[in-house]
Structure 1
Amino acid sequence: MSYLPIVKVAAAHVAPVFLNKRATVAKAISLIREASRHGAQLVAFPESFIPAFPVWASLWAPIDNHDLFEKLVQESIFADGPEIAEIAAEAARSGVFVSLGFSERSHASVGCLWNSTVLIDDRGTIVNHHRKLVPTFYEKLVWAAGDGAGLRVVETPIGRIGGLICGENTNPLARYSLIAQGEQIHISSWPALWPTRRPSTGGNFDNVAANRLRAGAHSFEAKAFGIISAGYMDAGMRDYLAARDPAAAAVLDDSPRAASMFVDPTGAPIGDTVRDEEGIAYAEFDLNRCVEPKQFHDVVGYYNRYDVFALTVNRERQEPVTFRDARSHSTITAQGEITGAGARQHEVRPGDREVN
């Protein structure tokens, strides 16, 4: 007898309108509507879908990329900005949950960016906001390190949903922190490609095999279903980069393309796989299938030794500065939020509130 929900999920295997936040938001809204028409209750978008994944950091030296960084900053978005609000409104209209990857701007700095995701529920409420803990390899030239505030599993009517961004799915402690919150659906988001070598030196990192391995391992250990939502490199993105430096074309063309797919609680493939074209992949998750495998290995239950191992996770949102008002003994954070005895004496700008 079933007592947990059966959920239809979608992974949007799509390209952004490269470095164009307005057009990419419009594309995301269209895709949410399409997935909803096909019965999806949850749709996941790729890593840094808005406005694009900064693959150029793998192609050229930092001193050659200043203009691209400035363009990325200009087209990145705030977590409490109008672009997220538009997508949240569409989630509510369509009645679906949305996981969205985006390059996030900071209210405290004109140049600080994070690699972030938000989970939006079917009423248009942001129920989690995660910043990638450690940018991977050349991503460090673009994004700042995040914090643990988003290491949360959200209990929803369609299951307990958690997620990590790209290389975080290789971090066993981050993954364990989600498993220990009863995760049933794990969303992993990925870029369209991951260049690591020039063709003449022996080819590139196998994106698809690595992503499938990591997603399968997490689902096997968590006894949870997995959504692998990867980006797609369209002609617009490729041509934009190749026009800048024709030598980059060979690297882009030689790098394996990512795939969007799903895995079940044993780590086995389930549902659709989309790789070589844009599209939406679908799968059905019967969350009752998360229960039986817990008899074999429940790494947050009987199959652990809490007297031997311990893990502490700091989930405080980190701020660059705290201002103390001597008159009222209140604290003003970099986001403009005011705490303490004098909070009522100050006006807080609504646009500066943190979204969590």
Structure 2
Amino acid sequence: MQSKQTVRAAAVQISPDLESLSGTLEKVLAVIDEAAKDGVELIVFPETFMPYYPYFSFILPPVKQGKPHLKLYEQAVEVPSATTDALSRKAKQHSMVIVMGVNERDHGSLYNTQLIFDATGELVLKRRKITPTYHERMIWGQGDAAGLKVVETNVGRVGALACWEHYNPLARYSLMTQHEQIHCAQFPGSLVGPIFGEQMDVTIRHHALESGCFVINATGWLTDIQIQSLTDDPEMQKALRDGCNTAIITPEGKHLVPPMTEGEGYIVADLDMGLIDKRKRMMDSVGHYARPELLSLRIQNAPSQYTTPMFQTPIVESSIEVTGESNHEIITNSEI
């Protein structure tokens, strides 16, 4: 368990550079420097913020997505790369835990990936969204449960999920069983309309209550000029407005500071880690309130394998050990 009694956290809501990864990275590094002046120890950025969330996939039919999809490939982040090195250096420079959402390129596929850099600069978690939602399935491949991990960091035990993964109760429960203290949530923002932000509020507050942890939620923001650059259809432009709810939630389900629902910036709050025990004294979903003999979770947490040998040569070893009147036969790697 971490020893910090108070953690200063920030949730960021800014717009990406829709033209280049380098432009978005420049904005990210500037925000980190600014937050460091405020004493921030943990900072969370929006879903796939680097280079940008694929908003085009929500408003364009598949037949028209080829060009912007290939552009996203060109700007996507490889792990490791010069981009991740820059984030690592910045984390170490400011002794800050950084949670970043990226479009990760792995050879011929893109993934919705969450990265957690510890205050030492070490990349302590790289996980991929297990199931892209609706239009996102045209863009990203599926992740696996190997990334459903809570990691020890300078600010405590940190877990992360992206967007509608928060509607997968088993995914959330897998992190709860690992006793996460701070949950980092990432959503795209500037999508769907006001109802998206309203639903988000319910979702993150419920997770805070159910898991007895803090939730730091970051959403992206599109400017009017950016929205107009994505589509000149007024109806489609409506689909790229609102839907933001950048927030910091206590284990009691309360907003520590007013959430950001529009504009650019970030919110900062001090997390009183003692509130975790206060909540879990009443209801610990993976402890005294659980009934594992009745309900339990099975997780396939091995990384996805793309090749599996069809035939293996069996190795048979046998030996007889005689000790007194007892014979013990040991057979390993049997042909059976």
1:141 paired residue number: 138
What displacement does 1:235 show? 3.5
1:266 paired residue number: 252
* Structure 2: distance between partners of 1:284 and 1:260: 16
User: Are 1:17 and 2:14 an aligned pair?
Assistant: no
What displacement does 1:205 show? 6.2
2:129 paired residue number: 132
Correspondence list, 1:53-64, <5 A: 53-64=53-64
How many residue pairs match? The answer is 310
1:339 paired residue number: none
2:237 paired residue number: 249
Residue type at the aligned position of 2:284: D
2:277 paired residue number: 291
Long gaps (5+) in structure 2:
313-336
Of 166, 172, 191, the match for 2:188: 191
* Structure 2: distance between partners of 1:59 and 1:123: 40
Q: 1:274 to 1:299 in 2, by over 3 A?
A: same
CA shift digits 1:238-263 (9 cap, x unpaired) = 132125x56533433xx423021111
Secondary structure of the corresponding residue to residue 231 of structure 2 = helix
2:29 paired residue number: 29
Cα RMSD (Å) of the superposition?
Answer: 2.0
User: Are 1:155 and 2:152 an aligned pair?
Assistant: yes
CA contact (8 A) 2:182 2:215 kept: yes
* Structure 1: distance between partners of 2:39 and 2:62: 44
1:86 paired residue number: 86
Long gaps (5+) in structure 1:
196-203, 327-356
Task: Calculate percent identity across the aligned residue pairs.
Answer: 28
Using the size of structure 1 for normalisation, the TM-score is 0.83
Secondary structure of the corresponding residue to residue 239 of structure 2 = helix
Using the size of structure 2 for normalisation, the TM-score is 0.87
CA shift digits 1:193-224 (9 cap, x unpaired) = 233xxxxxxxx461111111110010001111
What displacement does 1:237 show? 2.3
Secondary structure of the corresponding residue to residue 77 of structure 2 = coil
Residue type at the aligned position of 2:201: R
* Structure 2: distance between partners of 1:236 and 1:90: 30
CA contact (8 A) 1:114 1:144 kept: yes
- Structure number with bigger Rg: 2
Please identify, of 306-315 and 258-267, the stretch whose mean Cα deviation from structure 2 is larger: 306-315
* Structure 2: distance between partners of 1:56 and 1:323: 40
User: Are 1:100 and 2:103 an aligned pair?
Assistant: no
* Structure 2: distance between partners of 1:240 and 1:137: 23
Of 261, 268, 272, the match for 1:282: 268
2:220 paired residue number: 231
What displacement does 1:323 show? 9.1
What displacement does 1:302 show? 1.2
Q: 1:124 to 1:247 in 2, by over 3 A?
A: same
Secondary structure of the corresponding residue to residue 291 of structure 1 = helix
Residue type at the aligned position of 1:189: Q
CA contact (8 A) 1:232 1:277 kept: yes
What displacement does 1:142 show? 0.6
* Structure 1: distance between partners of 2:118 and 2:95: 8
* Structure 2: distance between partners of 1:11 and 1:216: 15
Secondary structure of the corresponding residue to residue 206 of structure 1 = helix
2:334 paired residue number: none
Residue type at the aligned position of 1:229: A
* Structure 1: distance between partners of 2:4 and 2:235: 53
Q: 1:237 to 1:7 in 2, by over 3 A?
A: same
* Structure 1: distance between partners of 2:216 and 2:48: 16
What displacement does 1:96 show? 0.5
Secondary structure of the corresponding residue to residue 84 of structure 1 = helix
* Structure 1: distance between partners of 2:147 and 2:156: 18
1:7 paired residue number: 7
Secondary structure of the corresponding residue to residue 113 of structure 2 = strand
* Structure 2: distance between partners of 1:42 and 1:157: 9
* Structure 2: distance between partners of 1:3 and 1:22: 37
Residue type at the aligned position of 2:196: N
CA contact (8 A) 1:4 1:288 kept: no
Q: 1:55 to 1:187 in 2, by over 3 A?
A: same
